[in-house]
Amino acid sequence: MPSATPTGRDLRLDLFRGLALWLIFLDHIPSNMVSWITIRNYGFSDATEIFVFISGYTAAFVYGREMDNRGVLVASARILKRVWQIYVAHIFLFVVYMAEIAYVASSFDNPLYSEEMGILNFLKQPDVTMVQAMLLKFKPANMDVLPLYIVLLAGLPPMLWLLKRTPTLALAASTALYAAAWIFGWNLPAYPKGTWFFNPLAWQLLFVFGAWCALGGAERIAPFARSRPVFWLAVGYLVFAFAITLTWYLPRVGSYVPHWLTDWMYPIDKTNLDVLRFAHFVALAILTLRYVPRDWPPLASPWMRPAIVCGQHSLEIFCSGVFLAFAAHFAMVELSDGLGMQILVSTVGIATMVAVAMLITWYKNVEGRKHGPRQTPANADLAGGEA
Partner 1 sequence: MRVLMAAAVAAMLATAMFATPGLAADEGACFVASNLVQADFALPHTAAAIAEKRLNVAVIGSASSTLPAAAGGAPKAYPAQLEASLMRRLPGVAVKVTAHTQTRETAADMVKTLRQVLKDEKPDLVVWQTGTVDAMLGVDPDQFQSALGGGLDALREGKADGVFMNMQYSPRTDSMVAMGPYIDAMRFIALQREILLFDRLGVMNAWNEMKVFDLSAATKKNDVAERVHDCIGRLLSRLIVDGAKLGHASNTGAGNMDHPNKDIR
List contacts with partner 1 (CB under 8 A). 27-31, 33, 35-36, 41, 97, 100-101, 104, 107-119, 140-142, 144, 190-195, 197, 248-249, 251-252, 254-255, 262-263, 266-267, 270-271, 325-326, 329, 332-333, 337, 339
Nearest approach, Cβ of residue 265 and partner 1 (Å): 10
How far is 148 from 152, CA to CA, in rounded Å?
6
Q: Which CB sits closer to partner 1, 337 or 381?
A: 337
Q: How far is CA 37 from CA 89, 188, 235, 300, in A?
A: 28, 32, 20, 25
Nearest approach, Cβ of residue 226 and partner 1 (Å): 34
Q: How far is CA 314 from CA 15, 19, 213, 325, 347, in A?
A: 11, 11, 20, 16, 19
How far is 60 from 214, CA to CA, in rounded Å?
6
Nearest approach, Cβ of residue 327 and partner 1 (Å): 10
Phi and psi torsions of 189, nearest 5°? -75, 150
Nearest approach, Cβ of residue 114 and partner 1 (Å): 5
Q: Which CB sits closer to partner 1, 72 or 190?
A: 190
Q: Are 43 and 243 in contact (CB under 8 A)?
A: no
Nearest approach, Cβ of residue 176 and partner 1 (Å): 22
Nearest approach, Cβ of residue 267 and partner 1 (Å): 6
Own/partner pairs for 64-70, CB < 8 Å, 24+ apart? Answer: 64/160, 64/163, 64/164, 64/211, 64/214, 64/215, 65/6, 65/380, 65/384, 67/160, 67/161, 67/164, 68/164
Nearest approach, Cβ of residue 325 and partner 1 (Å): 7
Q: Which CB sits closer to partner 1, 214 or 345?
A: 345
Q: Are 331 and 342 in contact (CB under 8 A)?
A: no
How far is 55 from 35, CA to CA, in rounded Å?
23
Q: Which CB sits closer to partner 1, 131 or 333?
A: 333
Q: Which CB sits closer to partner 1, 232 or 249?
A: 249
Q: Which CB sits closer to partner 1, 231 or 330?
A: 330
Q: Which CB sits closer to partner 1, 193 or 370?
A: 193
Q: Which CB sits closer to partner 1, 339 or 366?
A: 339
Q: Which CB sits closer to partner 1, 127 or 263?
A: 263
Nearest approach, Cβ of residue 345 and partner 1 (Å): 12
Nearest approach, Cβ of residue 235 and partner 1 (Å): 24
Nearest approach, Cβ of residue 342 and partner 1 (Å): 9
Nearest to 326 by CA among 90, 173, 156, 143: 143
In sequence order, what are the beta bridge partners of 195? 189
How far is 58 from 385, CA to CA, in rounded Å?
6
Q: Which amino acid appears at position 202 of this protein?
A: A
Q: Which CB sits closer to partner 1, 309 or 345?
A: 345
